[in-house]
Structure 1
Amino acid sequence: MSDPYAKLAELGLKVPEVVPPVAAYVPAVRTGNHVYVSGQLPMAEGKLLATGKVGAEITPEHAKELAARCALNGLAALEWLVGLDKVVKIVKVTGFVASAPGFSGQPGVINGASEVFGEVFGEAGRHARSAVGVGELPLNAPVEVELIAEIAD
């Protein structure tokens, strides 16, 4: 596997500071050789980047960019707990999209997160995935992404 730090630099991306939890949980938990990363909202510098429903106030294209930010925040949680250099495989990604009635493009939105993991980790970033449309997300966020990663000892 390639060096995720070098790949991030090549892509012009930076791992942000870990987003502090907005409720009673921690950003990530390790059990055995897996890290479970809590749902990440599209936050930057302590602020939600957008609010609203995808297919109404938020375009699918913008939502895809927000999902990419959620992925970067997920990487921040991994970095905080174990370090990106310990990631062996991104195993599973679950994406939630606050969807306006009739919006069914959730897979395209969550591709924003999946593409980040693929670009950073290459083949090890390919993962199983669910993309789910929901009525509401915390803080009226348009997207939320959680993940499970396998890590080296």
Structure 2
Amino acid sequence: MTAGATAEEKLAELGLTLPEVVPPLAAYVPAVRSGDHVYTSGQLPIVDGKLVTAGKVGAEVDVEDAYELARVCALNALAAVASAAGGLSNIVRIVKVVGFVASAPGFTGQPQVVNGASDLLAAVLGDAGRHARSAVGVAVLPLDAPVEVEVVAEVR
């Protein structure tokens, strides 16, 4: 990727565009700004209003596909952060990522799945995309999604 490129340029180099913010599925908002931070709600792998894939990782969904789904979640989270911060250029850094992985019994590869989100954020934001993180296995997620990602970002 081009050194010194903007986040928008890096997205384009990756063949990606910032999607529209995914509308809430229940009684919440996609992101809230409080001072110099934006907190996103959990973002699912939704593209064009539809869940990309359903199921448990380690059963119906393999690790490689789940990694890609976590990338989609991170892209949706970036859209939510940008909407609350006035654009991608106002993101100072990603502070924390929490990834939830709907896991089949005995599945322990949650960190590899959530790497999809972490790798995308670093690719788009460079060092500002590196963050603290938790990768948590759960029994089930909304809509039977395999992955859900939430982000805390410092913004201008």
TM-score above 0.5:
yes
User: SS at 1:90's partner residue?
Assistant: strand
> How far is the alpha carbon of 1:80 from its aligned partner?
1.6
Structure 2 counterpart of 1:39: 42
Q: 1-side partners of 2:130 and 2:92: how far apart? A: 11
Q: Does 1:123 align with 2:156?
A: no
Q: Give the counterpart letter for 2:144 in structure 1.
A: N
Q: 2-side partners of 1:69 and 1:99: how far apart? A: 18
Q: Deviations over 1:111-133 (max 9, x none)?
A: 00000000000000000000000
Q: Deviations over 1:16-72 (max 9, x none)?
A: 111000000000000010000110000001000000000000001000000000000
Indicate which of 101, 112, 116 corresponds to 1:108: 112
Gaps of 5+ in 2: none
- Contact persistence 1:94–1:145 (CA under 8 A): yes
Post-superposition, which runs of at least 4 consecutive aligned residues in structure 1 deviate over 4 A? none
- Where do 1:11-50 residues align within 5 Å? 11-50=14-53
- Normalising by structure 2, report the TM-score: 0.95
Q: 2-side partners of 1:24 and 1:16: how far apart? A: 21
Structure 2 counterpart of 1:8: 11
Identity of aligned residues (%): 65
Indicate which of 139, 142, 152 corresponds to 2:143: 139
Q: Deviations over 1:49-102 (max 9, x none)?
A: 000000000001000000000000001111222211100010000000000000
- Contact persistence 1:2–1:121 (CA under 8 A): no
Gaps of 5+ in 1: none
Q: 1-side partners of 2:13 and 2:144: how far apart? A: 33
Aligned residue pairs, count? 152
User: SS at 1:91's partner residue?
Assistant: strand
Structure 2 counterpart of 1:90: 94
Q: 1-side partners of 2:144 and 2:58: how far apart? A: 14
> How far is the alpha carbon of 1:2 from its aligned partner?
4.5
